[in-house]
């Protein structure tokens, strides 16, 4: 219920920002962004995931286009979870998502909220074990700080759900990736 409410709020906020749709959809004032980040990912649920695996190391690559307060990007996020014992083996999680960021303030430290969704893959590393290719979705928030006119550093957290309940495990997988990185802006 809370996730649905968060998603509905984010969609309504984005829709309200399109008050002048004609100027929004023109190509004037477009900015292109590329971001790279690294950090940790914390396993949240199911209970066996949090019991058997440590928080992981993760990498993110993101790129897209923005105008005014909206930015649409493609996000590639990879997390590697080390098992606390030799069995089960290490786990990988890959997200290839479409992300919408809403950046309401134009300041040096610029907060934002985001909604994201797309391809979610969960698999055991060694030996190649079961894998799941399912729908993933989530939301989050972050802040970016201007370094100069072309670069910004960011800190971002997301709450991601993988629809793994549709497979044999019958439980969704939830993680919280936290990333720190650099964004390049091209106008």
Instruction: Tell me the average pLDDT across 144-153.
Output: 92
User: Is pLDDT of 88 > 70?
Assistant: no
> What is the per-residue pLDDT across 28-39, written as a single tens digit (0 to 9) for each?
778 999 999 999
Say what the pLDDT of residue 128 is: 61
Per-residue pLDDT reduced to its tens digit, 48-86: 777 778 888 999 999 999 988 899 999 999 998 888 876
- Domains of the chain, by residue range, sit at 2-13+32-186
Write out the H or E segment, with its range, that includes residue 7. helix 2-16
How far is it, in rounded angstroms, from Cα 56 to Cα 177?
Answer: 9
SS3 for 165? helix
Top pLDDT among 44 and 117 is at: 117
Residue whose entry in the numeric block shows the structure tokens 């994201």: 116
* Mean per-residue pLDDT, 118-122: 89
Architecture of the domain spanning 2-13+32-186: Beta Barrel (2.40)
How far, in Å, CA of 82 to CA of 57, rounded? 9
């Amino acid at each position: 219920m809370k996730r649905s409410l968060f998603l509905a709020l984010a969609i309504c906020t984005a829709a309200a920002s399109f008050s002048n749709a004609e100027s929004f959809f023109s190509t004037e004032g477009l900015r292109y962004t590329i971001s790279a980040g690294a950090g940790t990912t914390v396993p949240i649920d199911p209970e066996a995931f949090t019991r058997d695996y440590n928080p992981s190391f993760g990498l993110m690559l993101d790129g897209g286009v923005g105008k005014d307060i909206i930015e649409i990007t493609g996000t590639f996020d990879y997390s590697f979870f080390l098992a606390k014992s030799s069995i089960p083996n290490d786990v990988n999680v890959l997200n290839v998502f479409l992300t919408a960021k809403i950046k309401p303030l134009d300041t040096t430290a610029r907060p934002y909220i985001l909604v994201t969704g797309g391809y979610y893959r969960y698999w055991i590393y060694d030996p190649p074990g079961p894998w799941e290719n399912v729908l993933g979705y989530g939301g989050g928030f972050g802040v970016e700080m201007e370094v100069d006119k072309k670069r910004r550093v960011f800190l971002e957290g997301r709450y991601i759900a993988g629809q793994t309940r549709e497979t044999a495990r019958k439980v969704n997988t939830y993680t919280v990736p936290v990333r720190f990185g650099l964004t390049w802006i091209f106008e």
